[in-house]
Structures are given as C-alpha cells and as structure tokens.
Chain A
Amino acid sequence: MELLYGTWHWSISGFLIGITMLMLIYFGKTFGMSSNLRTLCTILGAKRKSNYFNFDWREQKWNLAVVFGAVLGGYFATHFLNGSHILELNPRTLQQLQQLNIDFPNGKIVPDAIFSIDAMLSVKGFLILLLGGFLIGFGTPYAGGCTSGHAITGLSNLQLPSLIAVIGFFIGGLIASYFLIPLFF
C-alpha cells in the first residue's frame, strides 16, 4: 500500500499522464488544459468584448468535464490516498527555502508563505498570486498552449513550434525561480 500512499514514482506518473493524453486523442479530442480558461471567460460573458470569445462554448463541454474530473481527482487523492512520506526534497533545496524564509513542506503540498489564507489576505501575497495567475492566463493563449498542449501533446507529435514554446516556458521559469522568488521573499 505504501506504493499507493507515498509519492508516486516519476516513471509511473509520466506514463499515466501520457496515457491520459492518448485516451483523449482516442476520444477524438486534444489534451489541453489552458483552453478551459477561454471557455470560462466566454461563459462569464466575455463574448461581448472580443471576437476571441465568440464561439459556442458547448463544443468545449468535454474539456470542462475533464477539469471537473481533475478537481474531483485532487480531492480524492488528498483525502483518501494521502501518505505521510510525501515531498522529500533535495537537502540543498531545503537550505535555499530556509534562506528565503519559505516554510518546509512537512506534509503540506504548497508553502504557507505563498498559499496560506494569511498570505492571501496580505496585499503583497494577494498581488503575487494574482500576478502569477495573470501571466499564466495571458501567456498560455499567446503561446498557444501550456504544459499539456505543448510540452506533452506537441512534443509527442514532434512539433517544432512546441519545442520553441517549451524553451520559452523554461526561460520564464528560470527567471522567476532565480530572480523573482528571491526578490519577492
């Protein structure tokens, strides 16, 4: 049971994510989580503001169903498959976190320094969360996809544009990790 409750091995996890993508292809769809942001904007009434949102969101109902399932999956795994030996980070990572004053995992999946209710209710913490979300929401349609659409589906289909996009993801991620995180914390 430790196999199920502990951290799932990267090879099993990666394989299952690949299978998720292949199942969606078999169902006649394409794996892409960021498209849901556009669908949600359309449902919320963005249709009147731009042609970009002027499409029949019902065509994307299947993708919202995937999202709904993902929320349920997150709930189920957290409440019924949670073990104690989770998030064993590299000791060097822990050392860096300590220097940044970011709390250690100790069984948590995300740090309180960024995600606790107290952090969220502070002006700085709120703006960090909002800024991160904004960049994700603006960047993914601009780049035509995110980790699922480009890094997994696009690269699996040997698409050069996806490789360019993934290189962009990493440039951005490295800048954030080496410059912005130390700046913010």
Chain B
Amino acid sequence: MKLLRFVLVGFIFGIVLTKSEAISWYRIYEMFQFQSFHMYGIIFTAIVTGVVGIRFFKKKEIKDYKGLPIEILDKERARFRYIVGGIMFGLGWGIVGCCPGPIFVLLGAGVASIGVVLLGALIGNFIYGVLKDKIPH
C-alpha cells in the first residue's frame, strides 16, 4: 500500500502535535502573549532540524526513495501576498488558536466544534479560489 507510509508520517505528526500541546488554544495564546518559550522552542528546533537535514540532502546529493534527485521548489518572489495573506492567516491563528494541521488533529482528539472552524476554512479557501485572479498578489 503506497499511501500507508504517508498515513504513518501523519500519525506521528498528529501524536507529536497533541503531546507537545501545539494543538492547544492555550499554548497559542501564551505564545502570542510572550509568556512561554514552549512554542518558540518547538518551531525553532523544527527549523534547525530542517536546515541541517536539507543541507545534508543537498550536499550529499541524496536521492529520494524512488531514486530521483531531491528538489525543493523556491517560493515565488512577491511581497504583497505574503504580508496580507500572512496577516489574515495570523488573525485566524490568534483567534481560534490553530493552524491547518492542528484543525485535523483536534478533530481526531474529539473536539467536535473544530468542525465549524474547518467549515469556515473551506468557505475561506473557496472564496479565495473564486477571487484569486481579481485580487493583488
């Protein structure tokens, strides 16, 4: 089963986000109030691990599991979309205390009302898709 490995990666990710409490509204509130190092520590360690890993992949020219060269696409050069889109996402993150990953993890954790957040996110995504070519990026 080709997809099983992805389910497994997601499974580990879901456990880590739950046990680190990164899915908790309380932790996100505490982070934005600068009253705990916990969330900053998580993000910082993840980035350091990523930087070291990606450098290793590039330097040793590691191939992916299919034997293809590993390519990580550069992000498109722009400013407006990153600032405005970023602020919008940040507002949502600050209010309901979760980003897209935790929305799904919380669903598994049994927080039923997160379904409304997911519904809102799907509506938001849909409206973005409809307006995409009409708004500045």
Q: Which residues of A contact B70 (CB under 8 A)?
A: 25-26, 28
Q: Which residues of B contact A171 (CB under 8 A)?
A: 86-87, 90
Interface of A is mostly: helix
Q: Could you tell me if B124 and A50 are in contact, using CB atoms closer than 8 angstroms?
A: no
A175 on the B face (CB < 8 A): yes
Identify A168's interface contact among B31, B42, B82, B107, CB under 8 A. B82
Q: Could you tell me if A168 and B83 are in contact, using CB atoms closer than 8 angstroms?
A: yes
Q: Could you tell me if A139 and B14 are in contact, using CB atoms closer than 8 angstroms?
A: no
The smallest C-beta distance from A123 to any residue of chain B, in angstroms, reads 12
Give the interface size class of chain B: 35 or more
A residues 130-185 touching B (CB-CB < 8 Å): 130-148, 150-162, 164-178, 180-181, 184
Q: Could you tell me if B125 and A13 are in contact, using CB atoms closer than 8 angstroms?
A: no
Residues of B within 8 A of A (CB): 3-33, 35-39, 41-51, 53-54, 57, 62, 64-66, 68, 70, 72-79, 81-101, 103-114, 116-130, 132-133, 135, 137
The smallest C-beta distance from B26 to any residue of chain A, in angstroms, reads 5
Q: Could you tell me if B48 and A18 are in contact, using CB atoms closer than 8 angstroms?
A: yes
Instruction: Indicate whether A169 sits within 8 Å of B3 (C-beta atoms), given known contacts A41-B129, A133-B117, A152-B50.
Output: no
Q: Could you tell me if A87 and B87 are in contact, using CB atoms closer than 8 angstroms?
A: no
Q: Which residues of B contact A87 (CB under 8 A)?
A: 21, 24, 26-27
The smallest C-beta distance from B65 to any residue of chain A, in angstroms, reads 6
Interface of B is mostly: helix
Instruction: Indicate whether A109 sits within 8 Å of B111 (C-beta atoms), given known contacts A10-B41, A27-B64.
Output: yes
Q: Which residues of A contact B25 (CB under 8 A)?
A: 109-111, 114-115
Instruction: Indicate whether A164 sits within 8 Å of B83 (C-beta atoms), given known contacts A18-B45, A71-B104, A105-B26.
Output: yes
18 extra interchain contacts, Cβ-Cβ under 8 A, other than A26-B57, A177-B32, A177-B94? A11-B45, A14-B47, A20-B12, A22-B49, A28-B64, A28-B68, A33-B100, A40-B125, A65-B3, A74-B14, A87-B27, A116-B113, A131-B95, A136-B99, A137-B124, A154-B75, A161-B75, A172-B92
Q: Could you tell me if B50 and A129 are in contact, using CB atoms closer than 8 angstroms?
A: no
Q: Which residues of B contact A18 (CB under 8 A)?
A: 45-50, 53
